[in-house]
Structure 1
Amino acid sequence: MKNLTYSNTILVLSLLLGMGCAENTPKEVFDSEQIESEVEGVFKAYVNHVNLKGLEAVDTFFIDDERFYWVEDGVIQYPDKASLVSGLKEFMPQVDSVQMEIIDTEANAISGRHASFFVRFKEDIILKSGYKISLDGAITILFEKNNGSWKFLNGHSSIKKPRGG
């Protein structure tokens, strides 16, 4: 049997110590397809709600959490849920109807409690004055499962704009 040199002994001990400290946390197992289907369903329910009831009570789709925020065209427009609800309450009396159409979506499960969701949409908002606001844009949402329900944790919406040449 060979004698271990001091440097070989240190190397072996370091390897053994490193293997003993290696992370043995089991990897989270979740059903990506199920999660993606669920968040797709929640967004479709949101669109149906908006199309049938307008902006009334859409805040039920948003999480009650201090981490909530909403970005519009690159600016944090609503830093918390209360400011979003306040903005909706100011705008709602002017709205006669809303018609939102989903063009394309992509959902991605991140974990058992989180999913990202992208949607291209078109939306017509008819004001009581008769003025029509037509939007063509995209929304990205981070969903979080909270008490068994998927909610919008935060998001970003933007509309198409002509680009300069």
Structure 2
Amino acid sequence: MSIDAIAESTAASMSEGQMRELLEAEGVGTLGLPTGDLPYLVPISFGFDGDATLYFVFLLFGAESRKETLVTEAGRGRFLVYRAESMYDWQSVSLTGRITAVEEGEWDELRSAMENAWHPNVFSSAHPTRGVRGYSFEIDEWTGLQQRDVGGN
């Protein structure tokens, strides 16, 4: 990449439409939940309804789940989604929102939104002892930054 291309290639805010496009295209991000001292960070698959809600499904192992407990206690969290094609071509969206459980009888929207979610192999081979739990993440605030490669690298 030339010096001129680097000078033209600076980080810029993303529009709401660009942020929605990234959320629809990606299906995995990092959920941050508050704890007493440091945040609890979890890489997690998600679905996006195209409007202002993300959906997660937690596999529940053992008698207790730390993320289930933290979600219940906090009711709020941060979520980060990013795509990095190169050091000169990347996008990042940071969200804050309210997290609530989705009752089993109300999973239609969750199932529909989860169609774009990325699912690691662990989901197909896991045998949770307590089942699964669905959650919605109502977006209160979102910000996005990007740097697009103008030099073709």
Category of TM-score, reference length = shorter chain: under 0.3
TM-score, structure 1 length as denominator? 0.26
Considering Cα pairs closer than 8 Å and 6+ residues apart, tell me whether 1 or 2 has the greater RCO.
2
More helix by share: 1
TM-score, structure 2 length as denominator? 0.27
Structure of larger gyration radius:
1
More strand by share: 2
